[in-house]
Amino acid sequence: MITTNRRSFLVASLLGVTPMAWRAVAATTDQGSLPAWTPGTLDIHHIDTGVGNATFIMGPDGTTILIDCGATRGGPPASTPLRPDSSRAVGEWVARYALRHARAAKRTTLDYMIATHVHPDHVGSPIDGDPTTADGVVLTGLPQVDALMPATLVVDRGFPTYDPVPLLKLPWATNHVAWLNARVRAGRRVEHVQVGSTTQVRPIKAGAFTLRFVGGDGRVWTGRGDGSRDLLPPPSTWTPESTPLENNMSIAMVLACGPFRYFAGGDLVADTVDGAFPWMDVETPITRAAGPVDVASADHHGYFDAAGVGFAQSLDADAYVIQAWHATHPGMAPLQRMLNAWKGRSPRDVFITRLDPASSAVNQRFLRQVKSTEGHVVVRVTPDGQYRIFVTDSRDENDRITFAGEPRRSKLLKA
C-alpha cells in the first residue's frame, strides 16, 4: 500500500514540482485542491462558465494566454447557468480565475489574448446595465477581462478590415471592434492573425513552447515555414447558399511544449451543404495541417456541423475537451467520433465542461464513456512530456479536484 505522503510525493513529482516543494503540494493534494502551477509546467485551463468558451494557458516560463471569453446572455434554455453564480459577470469570473492561477508566477497581466472569431459565446455580448468605459466600450467578455487583467497583445481573426467576410452589424460585433479601436488609440497592440507564424505569439523564455497559427480568416498553413494559402474561392463565386460565415473564419492553433501537442480551433466547421460546396469544409484542411495532437478542444462545441471525420482522423487526439453550454452541444455523431465509440476501436477520453440536461437525455447512449460532464478541465504537462487531465469544481473558486486522470505519455514520447 502506498502511504498518503508517498502518494502525494509521487503526484508532486509527476506535476513537475521540485523536491523542496513537495510537502506543500502534498498538503494541497490531500485537501483535494488543484496544486498550483510550478515553473517548467504547462497548464491549459478550459474554464467552465456555462456561457461560452474561455481557455487560460500558463506557459512553462510564466507566459499567460487567454483564448476567447464568451458571454451568452439568455440563460436557460439558451444556455446553461453561469458559474460559479450570477453575482458577477462572466468576464469578471474569468479574470478572477486567470489571476488566481497566474499568482504562482507573480503575474497580473496577460501576454496574449486570442479572439478566435467574433461571436458572443467567444468574445462577449453587451446588454443594458453593463459597465461602459469612457470610450463607449461595454465591458463584457474579452473587453472586461482586458480591463481587469490587461493584455499586451490581442490577436484577432480579421481586424481591422474583416475582409472578405465582414462582421454582422449586431451589438456584440460593434462592441468588439469598438474595444479593439480603443486599444489602438491608447497605443495598445492589436494584430490580425498571421497564419503559419510561430513568432506572433512568443514565449517569455525562448524555446519554452511554440504556438503556430495553422488556420484563420479563411487561410490555412501550407506546412512549410510560415507560409499560408487561401481556403476560400473568390468572393465573386459565392452565392447566398455558399457564402462563408464567421465560424468558417475561426483562428486555429497548435501549442507545442516539448513532445506534447494541443489543438484549438474556435468554431471551425465542416458543413458543405450535404456535399454541394466542398470548399466550405474549412475544418478538414486546417486539422490536416495541424496533424496529430495529444489533446484537442472540440471545434464549435462539438455541434452537428463540426468535429467531422477529417477532424478526428487528422488530430487523432487521445483526449478531447468539449466546451459546451447549450442543449445542442455536443451532437451525437461528433461525440461518438471523438470517443471513437465503435466496436473494436481503442476508446478516447472526452471531457465536457457543462452538459445541458436536454443534451444529456439525447446523448445518453454514449455518456457512460465520457469522463466528466461539468467542471473546469485542466491539462497539466510536465517538463518530461507527460501530462495529466484534472477536472475541478466550477461551483466555487476553491479548485477542488473532482477527477484526476492517470499520467499519460505524449504521442511523440510513445513513438
What number of CA atoms fall less than 13 Å from residue 350's CA on the CB side? 30
* Residue 28 domain-assigned (yes or no): no
* Residue 346 domain-assigned (yes or no): yes
Cell numbers of 45, please?
485551463
Count how many domains the chain has.
1
pTM of the model: 0.92
* Residue 4 domain-assigned (yes or no): no
What number of CA atoms fall less than 13 Å from residue 146's CA on the CB side? 30
Distance CA 139, CA 159 (A): 19
* Residue 109 domain-assigned (yes or no): yes
Place of cell 461560452: 52
Contact 85, 75 (CB under 8 A): no
337's CB contacts (< 8 A; 6+ apart) are: 307, 308, 309, 311, 312
* Residue 71 domain-assigned (yes or no): yes
- Counting Cβ atoms within 10 Å, is residue 238 exposed (0-12), middle (13-18) or buried (19+)? middle
* Residue 160 domain-assigned (yes or no): yes
Closest CA to 360 of 392, 337, 406, 326: 326
Distance CA 327, CA 24 (A): 41
Q: Rg of the chain's alpha carbons, rounded to an integer?
A: 20
User: Which pLDDT value is given to residue 44?
Assistant: 99
CATH code at position 349: 3.60.15.10
Cell numbers of 173, please?
460585433
Closest CA to 14 of 385, 405, 382: 382
Q: What is the DSSP pairing of strand 408-409 with strand 151-156?
A: unpaired
Three-point CA angle 413, 302, 120, nearest 5°: 115
* Residue 164 domain-assigned (yes or no): yes
User: Which pLDDT value is given to residue 220?
Assistant: 98
CA distance readout (Å), 371 to 121, 168, 318: 24, 37, 12
User: Which pLDDT value is given to residue 76?
Assistant: 82
Q: Look up the domain containing 404 and give its range.
A: 36-232+243-413
User: Which pLDDT value is given to residue 31?
Assistant: 53
* Residue 91 domain-assigned (yes or no): yes
SS (H, E, C) the chain: CCCHHHHHHHHHHHCCCCHHHHHHHHHHHHCCECCCCCCCCEEEEECCCCCCCEEEEECCCCCEEEEEECCCCCCCCCCCCCCCCCCCCHHHHHHHHHHHHHHHHCCCCEEEEEECCCCHHHHCCCCCCCCECCCCCECCCHHHHHHHCCEEEEEECCCCCCCCCCCCCCHHHHHHHHHHHHHHHCCCEEEECCCCCCCCCCCCCCCCCEEEEEEECCEEECCCCCCEEECCCCHHHCCCCCCCCHHHHCCEEEEEECCEEEEECCCCCCCCCCCCCHHHCCHHHHHHHHCCCCEEECHHHHCCCCCCHHHHHHHCCCEEEECCCCCCCCCHHHHHHHHCCCCCCCCCEEEECECCHHHHHHCHHHHCCCCECECEEEEEECCCCEEEEEEECCCCCCCEEEEECCCEECHHHHC
Cell numbers of 401, please?
479536484
Each of the 415 residues of the chain gets a pLDDT tens digit; together they read: 333 344 343 334 433 333 333 333 333 344 599 999 999 999 999 999 999 999 999 999 999 999 999 999 887 887 899 999 999 999 999 999 999 999 999 999 999 999 999 999 999 999 999 999 999 999 999 999 999 999 999 999 999 999 999 999 999 999 999 999 999 999 999 999 999 999 999 999 999 999 999 999 999 999 999 999 999 999 999 999 999 999 999 999 999 999 999 999 999 999 999 999 999 999 999 999 999 999 999 999 999 999 999 999 999 999 999 999 999 999 999 999 999 999 999 999 999 999 999 999 999 999 999 999 999 999 999 998 899 999 999 999 999 999 999 999 999 888 7
Closest CA to 353 of 388, 386, 390, 380: 390
Distance CA 147, CA 330 (A): 32
